[in-house]
Structures are given as structure tokens and as C-alpha cells.
Chain A
Amino acid sequence: EVQLVQSGAEVKKPGESLKISCQGSGFSFSSYWIGWVRQMPGRGLEWVGIVYPGDSDSRYSPSFQGQVTISADKSISTAYLQWSSLKASDTGIYYCARHYGGAFDYWGQGSVVTVSS
């Protein structure tokens, strides 16, 4: 069974750093792109970026380029999304998902990130 299990909820202050994780199982993690999707409170879905764990190649939406870093460690089947300096506008739910055929076919449960002073 394909599963993506994400790290838990985080509460941070503006300016702090954060790294959230997404561990995959039930499939060949190195052979699929893994992506991240943001959903701000009460809003729609936003495509953040994707990473290929096989060679750590990462691609970003222009809206998120330079704002976040996506990485992966294929040895532990885990992808990451990180911020070096959080802003209040980073508050939201972040989903990881397996990317195949141009779509996200399996999703994690979501990680809630709250940034507030």
C-alpha cells in the first residue's frame, strides 16, 4: 500500500527556520517525483514544487522559487520542505504527494504550519 506520512504540526515565530518531512512507503521512493502543495487557511491549493529523490533534482513554481527549499534523502525514503526565515504568510497546511503522469496520485495527511509572533 502506497503511503506518505508527514511530520506533525508546527508553531513558529516569524524569522525562525523550519524543516518538515514526508516519508514514503509501499513504492520505489527513488523512482517518483515527490511534490509539495500549500493550502492557506480557507483558500485553494498552490503548487509549490517537486523533487526527484533518485538524483535530488528539484523544481519550483516561480511563486515559491527562493522562498523554500525542497530536498530528499532516498536512503530513508523521505522528502523535505524547509524555510530559512518564516513569515506569517507561510501559515497553512502543506501536503506532500507522489507525482506521476503530471498529477499527484497519492497524498500525505498534511502538516499544519502556524507562524505567529
Chain B
Amino acid sequence: DIQLTQSPSTLSASVGDGVTITCRASHNITNWLAWYQQKPGKAPKLLIYKASSLQSGVPSRFSGSGSGTDFTLTISSLQPGDFATYYCQQYNNFAGTFGQGTKVDIK
């Protein structure tokens, strides 16, 4: 299995702040990495695929970068609807794994 480690586990921030979440893979996954947002009681929502491609309809304040084993999700200016849990997910050789999640809450 390829393991994904996200950091931090929890992040406290204010509306308007810029935040960065990191995801490290245990092996090289080139750019097969996605980011999701999940709010309580809801299904996850795809934000970024192939490390840096913005999913249709997702605001441009979300961006992804990285390749190989180190990846980041950046939210340039937090909005009230962005307080949620974020997960990275890798896909390699017909199998995938998720990171453990990063909860972004209000400071």
C-alpha cells in the first residue's frame, strides 16, 4: 500500500487567511493525487485532481501543487464555507488510499 500522511491534522484560521495543507506519499505517485472537501453529513467534493487541475465549478482560491511524494493544497483567502475537513487521495496501479484528513476550523 502507498501511505499518505497529511499535516496538520487540525488547522485553526480566520476568514480571509491563506492556508496550506500538505500531503506526503510513501512512494512516488507522479501526479496522481486529488484533494477533497467534506462537510459534516455530506459526501466529499472533489476540488483538485492530478495534483494541480482545478475541478470544474471549484473557486480559483483553491490550488494544488507538487509531484512525486510531496503535495500541497492552498486556499488563498478562507471563506466561511471553507471550514471543513480536507482529504488527499492517491491512485496508483488500480488502487488508492486517502490521507487521514485535515480539519480546518474557525480560530
Determine if chain A interacts with chain B.
yes
Measured CB to CB, the residues of A under 8 A from B are 35, 37, 44-47, 50, 59-63, 95, 97, 101-105, 107-110
Whole-angstrom distance from the CB of A75 to the nearest CB of chain B?
A: 24
- Expressed in whole angstroms, the minimum distance between the Cβ of A96 and any Cβ of chain B is 10
> Complex Cα distance A101/B98, Å?
16
Contact B55 A107 (CB under 8 A): no
In whole angstroms, how far apart are the Cα atoms of A108 and B44 in the complex?
Answer: 9
Secondary structure at the B interface, as helix, strand, loop or mixed, is strand
Determine the chain B residues whose CB is within 8 A of the CB of A59 once the complex forms.
Answer: 94-95
In the complex, chain B residues whose CB is within 8 Å of the CB of A60: 95
Q: State whether A102 touches B34 (Cβ < 8 A).
A: yes
Contact A45 B95 (CB under 8 A): no
Q: A62 — which chain B residues lie within 8 A by C-beta?
A: 1, 95
Within the complex, the shortest CB–CB distance from A46 to chain B, in Å, comes to: 7
**Among all A-B residue pairs, the 7 with the closest Cβ atoms:** A103-B34, A102-B91, A107-B43, A47-B96, A103-B49, A59-B94, A45-B98
Q: Complex: how many Å from CA A82 to CA B50?
A: 30
Interface of chain A, helix or strand or loop or mixed? strand
Do A103 and B46 touch (CB < 8 A)? yes
B55 to A45, Cβ gap below 8 A? no
Enumerate chain A residues within 8 angstroms of B72, measured Cβ to Cβ: none
Contact at B89–A103, with CB atoms within 8 Å? yes
Listed by A's residue number, 22 A-B pairs whose Cβ atoms lie within 8 Å are A35-B96, A37-B98, A44-B101, A46-B98, A47-B96, A60-B95, A61-B1, A61-B95, A61-B97, A62-B95, A97-B43, A102-B32, A102-B33, A102-B91, A103-B49, A103-B91, A104-B44, A104-B46, A105-B46, A105-B55, A107-B44, A108-B43
With the chains together, A104 CA to B89 CA distance in Å?
Answer: 9
Looking at the assembled complex, report how far the CB atom of A72 sits from the nearest CB atom of chain B, in whole angstroms. 16
Whether A47 contacts B95 by the Cβ 8 Å rule is yes
Asked whether A47 and B89 contact (CB < 8 A) given A61-B97, A62-B95, A63-B1, the answer is yes
